[in-house]
Amino acid sequence: MIRGEVCAQGPAFKINKMKNENQIAVEVKLKKETDLVSDLKEDNTDFIVTTYQITDDTIESHYFFHEQMYLSMPKEHPLYEREFVSLSEFSGQTLLVRTELGVWQELIDSLTDINFVVQERKAFDQLISKFSLPAFTTNISQQYDL
C-alpha cells in the first residue's frame, strides 16, 4: 500500500482516478499543508502534494497540476451578466461551498462578510439544483464531475 497525503481535495481526486485506472493500491489522506513535509521526513507517508515547490535536498519535488477555485454563478443571480465581480460584492450574501476544502479553507475563512453554507457533495448538488445560489468550485471538481 502506497500512502499519500494531500492538502486539498483536487489532488486526492486526481490520484484516486489514476489509482483506479492503473489498479494501484494507494491510500490518500487530506492533511494540513503545514504537516506534510514533516510527515514525509518522518516516514509517516510515502508522498505528499503541496501547493508549492519543495526546496529540500532530501526530497524530490515535481509539478503535479494546477488547481483553480472559481465562482459558479446561476443565471438568475443579479451579478450573472457581469464579466468581472469582486468578492466584496458578495458581502452579506449566501454562497455554497463544499466540505473538506484543504488549502482553500483559509480563503473561505478570510471572507467573514459572506455567509457560507458548507455542505457534503450530495446536499451541495441538491441545493445548487433547487436554489439560485452562487457556489465556489474548482476546475478539478468540474473536470471529474465531483
What pLDDT score does 58 carry?
95
Question: Cα 20 to chain center, whole Å?
Answer: 20
Q: Which residues contact 81 (CB under 8 A, 6 or more apart)?
A: none
Q: Do residues 13 and 58 touch, judged by C-beta distance below 8 A?
A: no
Min mean pLDDT across 54-58, 66-70, 95-99, 140-144 is at 140-144
H or E, element range at 121: helix 121-130
pLDDT (0 to 100) of residue 145: 63
pLDDT at 29 over 90: yes
Gyration radius from the chain CA atoms: 17
pLDDT, tens digit (0-9, with 9 covering 90-100), for 41-58: 999 999 999 999 999 999
The CA distance from 108 to 54, in Å, is 25
Residue 96 reports pLDDT greater than 80: yes
